Amino acid sequence: MLGRLTRMLGNYIMLVALAALPRLGLAKVASEKLSEPTPESSLETAIKEISGIAVVDDKIVLLPEGKAMFLSLNWQKNGKNREGVFGPIEHQVRRPLPAGIGESDLVGADLVGTRWLILDGTEFSIREVATADSSEVTKRTVAWDLIKPPADRGGEPTRVETAALRAQFRKNWMRSPGRKITGWAKREGSGKKNDGSTYLLATKIPGYPVLEMRCGAGDESSSCILTRRCFVEGADDLKPAAMAGIGYSTKTKLVYLGDSAQRKIHVLRYDSCFHIVKVGELKLSDKLKQLSNVYVDAGDRLWLTTRAPDDYLNGSVYYWQLKP
């Protein structure tokens, strides 16, 4: 009993302290407008409606809206002009997924070893696709019903807290038709044989804007489970229906949440899954239409995708170098 009271007191003190932080931070939230994309940072795509992107080294994978396929191309960040950066549009290769799958809702990709992991936001499944020939190696559904609250200073959540969260999460999950997951961002991962990867997920599920997912390593890299609900503070104006992807900078530990309704990116500081707090926002140019996803690459470049090309460069994918 004494241990439980001590934990409750510790949690109360922690919550009181955290409650003060967002109010102080929000008064100083930096609002900045992204510069208009240059031709060299704007990609015209062979398929105009793009719902996701992954950028790994010199490779770009684009996920067209509602199609069981992806586009792949190489890029050179030091190219002197648009074609020098992204190459000719006819060099974008269409890579269909196996026949019989039908329409898909692909919202995210990640390169693990010699395989692309491709996330379906409606089925909440992950496909492993071989980089050599684009053949599908396997497809797995993510286990979503074993989620837990985040750990706090008092330790792991109690069984009662976990059971209550799972019951409410299941209700909200079942009441959210169509696309539930709008994007993912790798928070940590390792090339070690026995280590897996942790991803942050952006969702349209009311009350659960950000979740944490853990995946296996090697041949189990697409074997994933929802592990945590994350607490997000200061972004109350971001509505579930407007959620448009997530990016994460491993260098600055900042999270970038896309907001298609308000046409901006919410910038949040990641301290832990227990505490993600808004520290700024990036407003989009009026020329960018229908934001669909957000991505941050290893070089700390912010990539945005849209469901409709702009009316001056005919682009559907854009990037900016983030400030250190």
Per-residue pLDDT of the chain (324 residues; tens, 9 = 90+): 434 344 444 444 333 333 333 333 334 578 999 999 999 999 999 999 999 999 999 999 999 998 889 999 999 999 999 999 999 999 999 998 875 455 789 999 999 999 999 999 999 999 999 988 888 889 999 999 999 999 988 899 999 999 999 999 999 999 999 999 999 999 986 445 567 999 999 999 999 999 999 999 988 999 999 999 999 999 999 999 999 999 999 999 999 999 999 999 999 999 999 999 999 999 999 989 899 999 999 999 999 999 999 988 999 999 999 988
Query: What is the Rg, in whole angstroms, of the alpha carbon atoms belonging to the chain?
Result: 20
Whole-number Å distance between alpha carbons of 26 and 28? 5
End-to-end CA distance of the chain: 47
Whole-number Å distance between alpha carbons of 305 and 63? 10
- Rounded to two decimals, what is the model's pTM? 0.89
Whole-number Å distance between alpha carbons of 147 and 165? 8
**CA nearest neighbour of 283 among 312, 255, 304:** 304
Structure tokens at 70: 């992806």
Q: What are phi and psi of 190, to 5 degrees?
A: -145, 150
Whole-number Å distance between alpha carbons of 305 and 247? 12
Structural domains of the chain ordered from first start: 2-321 (2.40.128.630)
**CA nearest neighbour of 238 among 252, 253, 255:** 255
